Amino acid sequence: MKRKQKRFLQMTLLFMVALIFLPNIGLWSLYKDKHLVKSTEPGEQQTFPLGLGDGQFYAWTDGLRRKDWHDYESIQKEAMRSGKGEHGKPYPLTEEDHDDSAYRENGFNIFVSNNIALERSLPDIRHANCKHKMYLERLPNTSIIIPFHNEGWTSLLRTIHSIINRTPESLIAEIILVDDFSDREHLKDKLEEYMARFSKVRIVRTKKREGLIRTRLLGASMARGEVLTFLDSHCEVNVNWLPPLLNQIALNHKTIVCPMIDVIDHNHFGYEAQAGDAMRGAFDWEMYYKRIPIPPELQRADPSDPFESPVMAGGLFAVDRKWFWELGGYDPGLEIWGGEQYEISFKVWMCGGEMFDVPCSRVGHIYRKYVPYKVPSGTSLARNLKRVAETWMDEFAEYIYQRRPEYRHLSTGDISAQKELRKQLKCKDFKWFMAAVAWDVPKYYPPVEPPPAAWGEIRNVAANLCVDSKHGATGTELRLDICVKDGSERTWSHEQLFTLGWREDIRPGEPLHTRKFCFDAISHNSPVTLYDCHGMKGNQLWGYRKDRTLFHPVSNSCVDCNPAEKKIFMARCDPLSETQQWVFEHLNMTVLEKFNHHASS
């Protein structure tokens, strides 16, 4: 009996294997017929190779032929490279290498840039699924537009080399370098001579300082490619970066696409993803760019697929050339830089298009330590932002003016042409944009700010001194100082007003005018510092309790101080210690009790 049962199980197993894998009748064959049928020429016999990275073409159910665009020979060569800075590793720095003179001209460490290879290798940090994706066989070509002003020699050259080495030549119509009136010698004849080796690179020069926006427009006006791709002059594109962008535009020409923007450290040039990596572009109601998590409703089964984003980060994106000009390009009334990413983003969505971030396209970007050159006088970021708000944001512009009342009296210049363009394109209103596209933004940045729990000065009971952040930025340690209201000089250096807001973090400033830094602590004995607000609670979550202690749930500790040294730090909670007791100038007990009830539950 047991022998019969064993034979029956063996036959059953063989039948299942045949059902799945036998050619022409197996389930695998049915799957290939439906999804991965190799395109054939008339009279050619169909075959069904199992590997997708074999350089062959495939047709999906939509009838479009696709291919693997990876350059495996180039990828293999890069993997063999060695040396300082290779594979995106940080360059080993000495104390002397940190000297400010290395940063002065460029805002990043030019010494490091000069000492790593122009063709250095980068780590492939894409999602694993990206390595197997196939894109349309016929993709549009592109003009890659790179504006620059007094850019460092090696950082500019590394940008060009990375594009040449990691981009299929057939997809590059041209690379247009647009010089915005640079005055450094290496960017004149020397640059012309160097770029002569690249047949597809040409240099265009402005006759006066135009600024980033008009320089991009100049490059776009001279472009011949089917798609415009804008990059900055201190970037490094990563493996197979371009096909995923062009593929999305080929499927719908009314699409703007943005790569994942990775961070090239301005000190040691290490290459890494941004914190949080794939996130939606957003904004607050002072028009600061923000990044927010992708909501569950928009998360794809494949996290490497493109996802919708309300606004772009700035200067790295691709767009169909004809459609860019149908949209009017950038508003030519915007001065120098700032606000243009909102203008183009609102315009795209409201006027019949869409915008995606593309996880399989990655481009590294150097975020400068500081801007190394002067912006021409008479320009105003505030003016640009108001111009965008008045043109596109309708009644929602009022939320900006409530937070920035000084904007009300600024002149936008003549926006009649922009209003007429919006009318001609039959664009939707901003209320639609907030409801259909940016519907998740108010969760993180509500137009009407919920009331705070506490605000004003924070006075220590034992020391009778106030918390002072001295207008510091990320990394600044909070200190005690004589309270301004007790007669301390009202100089600009003091910053003693703080807000415990609805996010349960503490920020410098009054409720409607807080700065973008938060109280932050990393352990039960660390100093309390300012750090860029991330809105994700964690190290920046605080509670103000009935015993007047400032409690930090993550470290399970309280804010303490040393009055003699005027230091502020974390310590194990002791409600009887007066150095741990703090008095906020104003309290909203309703909100505070809600916070505390939520914390206790």
Task: Tell me the CATH number at 413.
Answer: 1.10.8.460
pLDDT for 600: 66
- Give the number of other Cβ atoms within 10 Å of residue 429's Cβ: 15
Q: Are residues 327 and 425 in the same domain?
A: no
Residue 8 lies in a domain: no
Are the C-beta atoms of 458 and 581 separated by less than 8 Å?
A: no
Report the pLDDT averaged over residues 286-315.
93
Residue 374 lies in a domain: no
| Whether pLDDT at 38 is above 50 | no
Q: Are residues 190 and 117 in the same domain?
A: yes
Q: Are residues 150 and 221 in the same domain?
A: yes
- Enclosing domain of residue 415: 381-444
Where does the pLDDT of residue 485 fall: very low under 50, low under 70, confident under 90, or very high at 90 and above? confident
Q: Which of 339, 366, 393 is the last residue of a domain?
A: 366
DSSP 8-class letter at 496: -
Q: Are residues 330 and 411 in the same domain?
A: no
pLDDT for 375: 62
Question: Which among 367, 133, 153 has a CA at the least distance from the CA of 261?
Answer: 367
Task: Tell me the CATH number at 116.
Answer: 3.90.550.10
Task: Tell me the CATH number at 521.
Answer: 2.80.10.50
pLDDT for 493: 75
pLDDT for 489: 61
DSSP one-letter string for 138-206:
S---EEEEEEESS--HHHHHHHHHHHHHHS-GGGEEEEEEEE-S---GGGTHHHHHHHTT-TTEEEEE-
Q: What is the mean pLDDT of the chain?
A: 88
Residue 77 tokens read as: 């060569």
Q: Are residues 359 and 410 in the same domain?
A: no
Report the pLDDT averaged over residues 137-154.
96
Where does the pLDDT of residue 35 fall: very low under 50, low under 70, confident under 90, or very high at 90 and above? very low
- Give Cβ neighbours of residue 124 (< 8 Å, ≥ 6 apart): 75, 131, 238, 239
Q: Are residues 403 and 345 in the same domain?
A: no
How many DSSP H helices and E strands does the chain contain?
A: 16, 29
pLDDT for 141: 98
DSSP one-letter string for 9-55:
HHHHHHHHHHHHHSTTTSHHHHHHHHH-EEP--TTPPP---S-S-SS
Domain tally for the chain? 4
Give the tens place of pLDDT for each residue, 359-376.
Answer: 999 999 998 876 766 665
Q: Are residues 335 and 190 in the same domain?
A: yes
Where does the pLDDT of residue 516 fall: very low under 50, low under 70, confident under 90, or very high at 90 and above? confident
Question: Which among 401, 404, 403, 382 has a CA at the least distance from the CA of 393?
Answer: 401
Question: Which among 430, 286, 422, 274 has a CA at the least distance from the CA of 357?
Answer: 274
Where does the pLDDT of residue 172 fall: very low under 50, low under 70, confident under 90, or very high at 90 and above? very high
Residue 331 lies in a domain: yes
The helix-helix angle for 2-21 and 27-35 (nearest 10°) equals 10
Q: Which of 444, 462, 496 is the last residue of a domain?
A: 444
DSSP one-letter string for 557-573:
EEEEEETTTTEEEEE--
Spatial separation of the C-alpha atoms in residues 244 and 250, rounded to whole Å: 10
pLDDT for 528: 96
Are the C-beta atoms of 143 and 111 separated by less than 8 Å?
A: no
Question: Which among 513, 517, 515, 493 has a CA at the least distance from the CA of 406?
Answer: 513
Report the pLDDT averaged over residues 27-46.
38
Residue 34 lies in a domain: yes
Q: Are residues 314 and 427 in the same domain?
A: no
pLDDT for 294: 94
Question: Which among 192, 176, 180 has a CA at the least distance from the CA of 143?
Answer: 176
| Residue 442 host element (H or E) | helix 441-444
Question: Which among 452, 510, 515, 461 has a CA at the least distance from the CA of 483?
Answer: 461
Residue 527 tokens read as: 């100093």
Residue 6 lies in a domain: no
Question: Which among 490, 442, 462 has a CA at the least distance from the CA of 564?
Answer: 462
* 67 half-sphere exposure, CB direction, 13 A CA radius: 12
Give the tens place of pLDDT for each residue, 110-135.
Answer: 899 999 999 999 999 999 999 999 99
What is the three-class DSSP state of 308?
strand
Residue 527 lies in a domain: yes
Burial class for 236, CB neighbours closer than 10 Å (0-12, 13-18, 19+): buried
| Whether pLDDT at 29 is above 50 | no
Q: Are residues 425 and 475 in the same domain?
A: no
Spatial separation of the C-alpha atoms in residues 26 and 19, rounded to whole Å: 5
pLDDT for 513: 84
Report the pLDDT averaged over residues 458-487.
92
Question: Which among 238, 221, 231 has a CA at the least distance from the CA of 175?
Answer: 231
Give the tens place of pLDDT for each residue, 416-425.
Answer: 999 999 999 9
| Whether pLDDT at 243 is above 70 | yes
Residue 522 lies in a domain: yes
Q: Are residues 463 and 403 in the same domain?
A: no
- Give the number of other Cβ atoms within 10 Å of residue 36's Cβ: 18
| Whether pLDDT at 548 is above 70 | yes
Residue 162 tokens read as: 């990375």
Where does the pLDDT of residue 9 fall: very low under 50, low under 70, confident under 90, or very high at 90 and above? low
Residues in the chain, how many? Answer: 601
Distances (CA, A) of 81 to 74, 76, 120, 155, 371: 11, 9, 8, 19, 33
User: What is this structure's pTM?
Assistant: 0.81
What is the three-class DSSP state of 303?
coil
pLDDT for 356: 97
Specify the higher pLDDT residue, 101 or 235: 235
pLDDT for 337: 79
pLDDT for 340: 93
Are the C-beta atoms of 336 and 365 separated by less than 8 Å?
A: no
Of 10-19, 44-53, 384-393, highest mean pLDDT: 384-393
| Whether pLDDT at 262 is above 70 | yes
Q: Which of 444, 465, 499 is the last residue of a domain?
A: 444
Residue 137 lies in a domain: no
Q: Are residues 48 and 154 in the same domain?
A: no
Where does the pLDDT of residue 534 fall: very low under 50, low under 70, confident under 90, or very high at 90 and above? confident
Are the C-beta atoms of 476 and 467 separated by less than 8 Å?
A: no
Taking the CA atoms of residue 388, residue 390, residue 394 and residue 400 in that order, the dihedral angle to the nearest 10 degrees is 80
Question: Which among 353, 449, 448, 434 has a CA at the least distance from the CA of 393?
Answer: 434
Q: Are residues 416 and 529 in the same domain?
A: no
